[in-house]
Structure 1
Amino acid sequence: MSLEKIEIFPWNKNFDTGISQIDQQHQRLVELLNLLVSHLAFQSEAPTLNTIFEELKSYAIIHFKTEEEIWRTAFADDPWATNHQETHAQFVVEVMRLKSENSDKSFDDDVVAEIVSFLTNWLTLHIIDADKRLAKAVLALRSGCSRQEAKRIADEQMAGTTNIVIKTVLSMYERLASHTVQLIKEIRRRKQAEKKLLDTHQALCFAKEDAEAANQMKSAFIANISHEIRTPLNAVIGMVHLLKRDNLTEKQAFRVDKIEDASQHLLSVINDTLDLSKVEVGKLALESVPLNLPSLVQETISMLDDQIEAKGLDLKVECENLRGHLHGDPTRLKQMLLNYLTNAIKFTDQGSILVRASVTEISPTVALLQFEVTDTGIGISSEQLPLLFSSFSQAEASTSRKYGGTGLGLALTRRLAELMEGEAGVESTLGKGSTFWFTAHLKNEPSKTKTNDSTAENAEALLKKFYRGQKILLVEDDEINQEIALDMLEDAGLLATIASDGAQAVKAVSKSEFALVLMDIQMPVMDGLEATKQIRKRPQYNSLPILAMTANASVEDKENCLAAGMQDVISKPVDPEQLFKTLVRWLGAIDETQGGIACKQVKIKSTRL
């Protein structure tokens, strides 16, 4: 095995006895002792250490037998030989004791110190002193001396300078052993620190994986809940749109307006929740299209005109310093501004609201846009300001009870501002009012294509004027949503054929000619994605516009729609104005190359499923 080695007993001439067979075995014995200390230092597992202990014991027994045979041949039953033999037995017993006491656990610092101390003393006193003394006597016997003479010669040679050397070596090895023990302790501390760091890293990795899995589950759950709420909400909003076209009494119109307000509020909560979830997992994609900022501000304000008028507030707008050709995400900018305006109206009972939009910094490629909404409302205390932009947080619980709200709008606004490489914040004085602001870095570049606002301004009129009678295939499984979409399309002068699932849609396209297909996604029998793929397999339908009309509103859902062969996505609940704009775009009502409006002439036979 690969292991960093520690030589607590480096082999040198002090170990030589003059008898080559014993010296060779001593050298192997020292190697095993050093190996044992190395494994102790680097905290090898108990089974590995037990194996080394066994090898050390086995080799020591072999070595001792070799020694004892040489000593016995020279000294017979002389106390020098018998006493030496007893030290061999004691060594084996001590080695096995240390092994048995720690066979199933790691060796702590005290045990390691005990082992090193034992080996140091035994090695120096036994090999350098006892073995060397006996070896000198054996060599003297072999040269012709008597036993007594040989023992005397050995004692003389081991006295004086040699004795000083032995003591010096013993002292040196004791110091070396002490340093080794300290080194082992330091290695152990580092190993433990490394293990703790590794364990912490692994725990963080597991926690990260768990968090990512939890985020994915949360996103899937929120997306599913969003779909389940959007589908019936589409029916509510759609019915309200149709009801408002009827001749309602003043009381009925008032009630319908309340239903519409409640529906839009619920839709706003759903959108904020879903968007915040997507931001948190990094899956919210931003558009980059040419912006008409004065129009964007005006459209946002127009959504709240009734609320502003109902409270008698004075609304002022300043959009004087809007320079450059800015590109950004108009939907998200409206959403952010709408969050601020809604709060300003909610918390201001009298006085005024100021909306200010300006470009504070600009370069040839980038501009810094800043929006501010200032009100004369209730204001916010300095203690509560840090909490405002946290998810599900409001200034205080009583605020939520009195004014309502989820606390998501401001958190989402800050997250969106950060996605646009900007910031969001507030300045406020309790009892005097607040100024909420956000910034966004936007691209500054001339638009390559001209926009035609006539489409946005009167899409339904364009449909009636240029596409009356065109056939649309409406693929929708929900009967209420079928009825609503059918009424919207017929009011715009279009003829709609209904298919209740993807399989019916594939058959309908093969039997009749349609100008456009509106395709739901989640349906029985065959879903909208598979139906689109089946239709696109036939070359004659490659250019047929297929638009998703679905409650699945995530980025992944839209990407899946486009990947299946759809050209665009209309989110549910369906905004009639947005539906009509999208239909105009894909039916080709605007022909810029001729500088005006033209209509495709398509001959279609009426078909009803």
Structure 2
Amino acid sequence: MQQDEFSYHFEVLDAVELAVIVLEVGDDGLPRYIAMNTKSREFTKLEHKDYAGKTALELYGGATGRRALNQHLAVISSGKEATYDIVLPTQHKEKYLSTTLRPVFNADGRLVYLVGSSSDITSERERDEALELTRMALDKAEEASQAKERFLANMSHEIRTPMNGIIGMCELLQETDLDEQQRLFADTILNSATALLGVINDVLDFSKIQADKISLHDAPFSLQDLVQDVGTLLWARAAYKGIDLRTDYPADAPHEFTGDASKIRQILMNLLGNAIKFTEDGHVAVSVSYDPGAAALPLRIQVSDTGIGIEPSQLKWIFSAFEQVDRRSARVIEGTGLGLAITQALVERMGGTITASSVPGQGSVFTVALDLKQPDHHLPRPTDDAAAVFRDHRQALNLQPSQPVPELPPGALAGKRILVAEDNRTNQLLVRKMLKSTGAELRFAENGRIALEAYKSEGCNLILMDLSMPVMGGLEAARRIRAHERSAGLPECPIVALTANAQPSDVEACLAAGMNDFLSKPFRKNELQARILRQGG
């Protein structure tokens, strides 16, 4: 821009919507303000007498003045237009301006003026800062959530490992000749350890619900079989208290549905387990009904009992986490207070509802309403090994195998070589004792690397693989074993994960690494033998 193109009628600039400033470059090379239009004066709250003949440093002082003057000098030095942001202090709050500064030359090519135009970007800047703060808060929340998950997973592993020794050794102790008092002590230890495992499972489930980590795995299943299985599992517990456990599945109700059978099993286990816990005489019943004409949620599963009931004023608290309503004498019953909170979360995750009613002294009724689709019977039911592993995983976590597994007869595994990758000495001893009578030849490895080398040099018929071991973990060892088999043209040796890592994601990781089965600690003797049999041991 040439000087003769530059108008000295500064009042024309007042018609411009942008804030405009004009600075004259003196003989000393310093730019000084000579004009600000109306919009600029609104921003700065300055009159002509306040700014005329002053540099930015003299006018604003401090960091703002130095930054503005440096930008002015940079344009003078380069002779080129520049755009920059600057913070303008005002009476109430800082104002952010985006400024474009252009040099103006005279006919001789000497830079004589600087003309700047500025727009207010305070709202945009505040929005961006708010978004950044939100992003940082979300990142910190996610980090905290992940840290909690890692902590819970680590604690679960660290607790399950010694519990495997406690429960396993107690079970072996029960197989020895004990007098009446010794058997009572052994039974008490086992029952207490099993109760502790239930607490751990509840805390892990609740943490996943809080982190919205609950996922559904829908597949066709028989609801009638599931209800009967749960009734069979809990029959002994009810019979021990002298309670009649009833199941009612009408013949005209559909049997086949599509949904997450393991979650529905968990819901029934929680509701029936609670009903048995708080009922001293009478009966506990589970009934199913289906109304095809219902506007919504046609499937109803109802669990009722003749227990001590719940006071009306306390019904609203029963689905709250860590709450145990005052059921009079039942206050002595231990528990986390998470079971019903978990149950409600699972039901709602499936799009259903759960309600409760009760008459103190007469009993309670819990009703689950769901809308499960009925499957196309032409679709195959899932029977693959992975599905079986997931089903058994849930049962193993609750120490409730679906069917009693007979103990292997003496010498049943004679001639079989089993490689056990396990760094915990107690668990090594436990496996050795559990399989002693089978006649299997056991080879122990303290970490995955030793197990890999042992398999390469000696071979075996089956591998029991822990996941968390020093030097090399079980997942990496399994991957390397599978790679060795492929390169050597060997058939796959069955690998069963035997681990305290008990999350569903651990099951997936094991299958992805090439393992064939999964058994979480603490495990029972019959469960271990069942896994070996299933893998052709």
Instruction: Report the TM-score, using the length of structure 1 for normalisation.
Output: 0.63
Matched, 1:581 2:530: yes
1:33-432 alignment, distance < 5 Å: 33-34=14-15, 38-39=18-19, 57-58=33-34, 92-96=48-52, 106-107=89-90, 199-288=129-218, 291-321=221-251, 322-361=253-292, 369-395=299-325, 401-432=331-362
The answer to which of 206-215 and 559-568 deviates more is 559-568
Aligned twin of 1:484: 430
The residue type paired with residue 325 of structure 1 is: E
Aligned twin of 1:64: none
The answer to which of 213-222 and 268-277 deviates more is 268-277
The CA distance in 2 between the partners of 1:518 and 1:327, in whole Å, is 34
Matched, 1:25 2:1: no
The CA distance in 1 between the partners of 2:525 and 2:225, in whole Å, is 19
Query: What 5-or-longer segments of structure 1 have no aligned partner?
Result: 1-20, 41-48, 61-90, 113-186, 589-609
Shift of 1:109: 9.2
Matched, 1:504 2:436: no
Q: Secondary structure at the match of 1:477?
A: coil
Aligned twin of 1:553: 502
The residue type paired with residue 25 of structure 1 is: S
Indicate how the Cα distance of structure 1 residues 55 and 437 shifts in structure 2: closer, same or farther if over 3 A, else same. farther
What RMSD, in angstroms, separates the aligned Cα atoms of the two structures? 4.2
Aligned twin of 2:418: 472
Indicate how the Cα distance of structure 1 residues 377 and 204 shifts in structure 2: closer, same or farther if over 3 A, else same. farther
The CA distance in 2 between the partners of 1:442 and 1:519, in whole Å, is 39
Shift of 1:244: 2.6
Q: Secondary structure at the match of 1:444?
A: coil
Deviations 1:205-237 (A, max 9, x none): 332222211110000000000000000111111
The residue type paired with residue 352 of structure 1 is: H
Indicate how the Cα distance of structure 1 residues 369 and 263 shifts in structure 2: closer, same or farther if over 3 A, else same. farther
Q: Secondary structure at the match of 2:150?
A: helix
Larger-gyration structure (1/2): 1
Shift of 1:372: 1.9
Indicate how the Cα distance of structure 1 residues 25 and 443 shifts in structure 2: closer, same or farther if over 3 A, else same. same
Q: Secondary structure at the match of 1:424?
A: strand
Aligned twin of 1:562: 511
The residue type paired with residue 389 of structure 1 is: F
Deviations 1:257-306 (A, max 9, x none): 22221111111111111122223334344444553444433443444444
Shift of 1:375: 1.5
Q: Indicate conservation of the 8 Å contact 1:456/1:581, yes or no.
A: no
The CA distance in 1 between the partners of 2:433 and 2:293, in whole Å, is 48
Q: Indicate conservation of the 8 Å contact 2:447/2:471, yes or no.
A: yes
Choose between structure 1 and 2: higher strand proportion. Answer: 2
The residue type paired with residue 503 of structure 2 is: S
Deviations 1:395-428 (A, max 9, x none): 2598885322111111111222233333333222
The CA distance in 1 between the partners of 2:250 and 2:166, in whole Å, is 40
The residue type paired with residue 567 of structure 1 is: N
Query: What 5-or-longer segments of structure 2 have no aligned partner?
Result: 37-46, 65-87, 96-118, 389-400
The answer to which of 479-488 and 318-327 deviates more is 318-327
Aligned twin of 2:477: 531
The CA distance in 1 between the partners of 2:157 and 2:318, in whole Å, is 29
Q: Indicate conservation of the 8 Å contact 2:412/2:439, yes or no.
A: no
The answer to which of 222-231 and 339-348 deviates more is 339-348
